[in-house]
Structure 1
């Protein structure tokens, strides 16, 4: 059965090996096609391939696969969420917390992350509307762990960096909920109060743990390479590398999560913003490692476009990584060329 590449659907099976015009082997006979395989055929300029005759119901259910992964991670996520609530409550009351609780609730979560490489789906699945501070703390812990792993840190170092990310905002337990949950813009005085959470976090972690580096991450995660951050206006060479990693995770989570006073921004748009910030604000090494690893996760994701059309991301554009090729029901849209069209939302 000869089919144009643009008419392929996930679940189709290759009848013959596929080669590009230069004779390079692209896909092997018998392969069951996924979205990323169809994208690969497009990238190699292959127009037609032979597939096995389709059954009446040919499909792989990626949503089902994602749901299975979600269900495996969810108990550990809930444990980390409840643990975060316990830690914040204890810290607000006594100025310190039980260090053993941190490992008891965060280590199982990290153990489950190694089986879930689709970080985009993970963020979409766990991006709920309950307490922002706790959910954000978990996301920053998860993303800090992933970034450290992608940068080549050892398993122990990656765990320590993730744990520091999990605790980075513990100082907010001392900030008034009226300020943290304020729906409107903070006054200059209120913002100065919020900025103190970095110092409070440093003090609380120092009181609770014999771990100067984790305390330093809480203190420095809002510092910026050009000296524009707080609380000390440090510059790149003065900021601990773990804090630089946490800063990337912190900004990404904050910009892609619903908050009382700000709607979440689209996941791919925020990656573009991170790229811009990597030249002077956020450190380039963790930022670029994060972007490089995240981009392939978007292939196969459903999207809603500003035109009202729905489609699937089938390929990242080498000329503009943040404006991919999208396949709708009746056409391909190259967002790097159609600048009047954009992704409104990324869906599961």
Structure 2
């Protein structure tokens, strides 16, 4: 299995279903509570203009504690974001994914927690954007889009005025900067963008693409990961994206693959040298999509 780069397998039948259901409940509860806390945080900042850092720490601490011991939380955090309370769910998801990416990159636990917190606060500047613009059920006008593009600077100002935390402030400012210089607000590029901001950028783009909003339908996970891979050649840090893919792609093993010729099969093995062309079992035979270039996976389902 190691020679085939299979990191883990699911073992069926070793845990009673009742126990499995019980263990997932606290995870969802902690996640939902964090979303409520972000909602309150945004409202407080709208009123006072500043952040109470102790409240931020209190709301994120239970999640960070779980992250260190509970691997099943990954499946909860990497699910799609609904259109209801999108901004708040998005912040929790980005903070959570950022934490895991940092951990997968082998960073010290303290740095992982700091980056998770920065991801949690990355969009706090949106509290200065009118809700009519943020929640508009359609595409933004040029003027409205210009307003939204100010949220990184607003976030930087809010965090600088409230907290002694340069990392969170810089991530709020830089999470829309891009490796090729095409981002905003300053168009910096490459390693001019700090690593934490490059990690949060990947989590931010991922979360935005899997969301379900009035003007944007949810894209299936494989399509989203393909897009992240494409962006790693221009806008996103390729090293960060590679780590994210390395830990995400094994989730497809055992899932049903819908092929471009109409056939369905089961994903058996992911090729690390070609993430999106795995080995698929179809009706008792094996199709290696790395070899069969005339076929591709159109969708994956449970």
SS in structure 2 at match of 1:315: strand
Does 1:78 find its partner at 2:20?
no
CA contact (8 A) 1:306 1:344 kept: no
Point out the more displaced range, 248-257 or 128-137. Answer: 128-137
Alignment RMSD:
3.0
Q: Quote the residue 2:117 is aligned against.
A: 163
In the alignment, the residues of structure 2 paired with residue 252 and residue 116 of structure 1 have an alpha-carbon distance, to the nearest angstrom, of 22
Shift of 1:104: 0.9
Instruction: Give the corresponding residue for 1:106.
Output: 60
* Cα offset, 1:164, TM superposition: 0.3
Gaps of 5+ in 1: 1-19, 27-34, 39-58
Q: Which has the larger radius of gyration?
A: 1
Aligned with residue 287 of structure 1, among 232, 236, 241: 241
Correspondence for 1:346: 301
Q: Which moved more, 1:306-315 or 1:148-157?
A: 306-315
Which residue in the other structure is 1:251 paired with?
205
Query: How far apart are residue 338 of structure 1 and its match?
Result: 6.2
- In structure 1, C-alpha distance between the alignment counterparts of 2:27 and 2:131, rounded to whole Å: 29
Q: TM-score, normalised by structure 2?
A: 0.86
Q: 1:86 to 1:253 in 2, by over 3 A?
A: same
Matches within 5 A, 1:58-137: 60=13, 64=17, 67=21, 69-117=23-71, 121-123=75-77, 125=79, 127-137=81-91
Please identify, of 66-75 and 242-251, the stretch whose mean Cα deviation from structure 2 is larger: 66-75
* CA deviation string 1:317-342 (max 9, x = no partner): 35531132334566555444264553
> How many angstroms does 1:277 deviate by?
1.4
Q: Could you tell me which runs of 5 or more consecutive residues in structure 2 were left unpaired when the two chains were aligned.
A: none
Question: What is the TM-score normalised by the length of structure 1?
Answer: 0.76
| 3-state SS, counterpart of residue 262 of structure 1 | coil
